[in-house]
Chains A and B, each alone.
Chain A
Amino acid sequence: DSGVTQTPKHLITATGQRVTLRCSPRSGDLSVYWYQQSLDQGLQFLIQYYNGEERAKGNILERFSAQQFPDLHSELNLSSLELGDSALYFCASSVSGGRYEQFFGPGTRLTVL
């Protein structure tokens, strides 16, 4: 158990819909990262938040957005969903930035029908 929690575990929805994925980092970790894992693209970094502020963006689509709240939990919002958005979405946390170990949550499996 990494100490990072994600909800829900599974999500099934239809094209065009909007969903919110939630992540709680390990106690004391200030950085939260979101990653997408799909068969064709592999594991891709989406976005990073540090202590409530956006820190870095990766391959995140404009239809996707995230935020980190004062209690440090984070939400990833995916809108206008397409079939190709079906993937595993992971949240990771670390003490600070990329020079430290990142600990991953169990992931949310999103299926878009």
Chain B
Amino acid sequence: SQQGEEDPQALSIQEGENATMNCSYKTSINNLQWYRQNSGRGLVHLILIRSNEREKHSGRLRVTLDTSKKSSSLLITASRAADTASYFCATDDMYSGGGADGLTFGKGTHLIIQP
């Protein structure tokens, strides 16, 4: 079953603008990861934020995590045409123990950057 739910499902913005995507999840987690997928291709790992972290930056990416609300956001600043892709959040269940269990993915946000 899907744990993470991204919002919005689709987002279209102009190049240079900032893009914000949100993710909500259901269970307690150890960490939350964001991935990017270009059409029909492999997933690229963007960033991992642990449950005891509130914010993390990587280049033009900023991720926040609010464990009390079970939500995360991904901000892409100064967007570029090459950022056009689907973005997924993925969580691992805190109670899976010993690193077992795979990631649970949301349905993704499809981001379109208009040149």
Show the binding face of A for B, using Cβ within 8 Å.
2, 31, 33, 35, 42-48, 50, 55-56, 58, 88, 90, 92, 96-107, 109
Contacts and interface: CB of A to CB of B under 8 A. Distances in A.
B99 interface: yes
Contacts of B99: 31, 50, 55, 96-100
Interface of B: 2, 30-31, 33, 35, 40-45, 48, 50, 88, 90, 92-93, 96, 98-108
B45 A102 contact: yes
A40 to B, nearest CB: 11
A43 to B, nearest CB: 4
Given A56-B96, A99-B30, A42 B107 contact: yes
Given A43-B88, A45-B104, A102-B103, A97 B98 contact: yes
Given A42-B2, A98-B101, A98-B102, A90 B96 contact: no
Given A42-B2, A42-B105, A55 B100 contact: yes
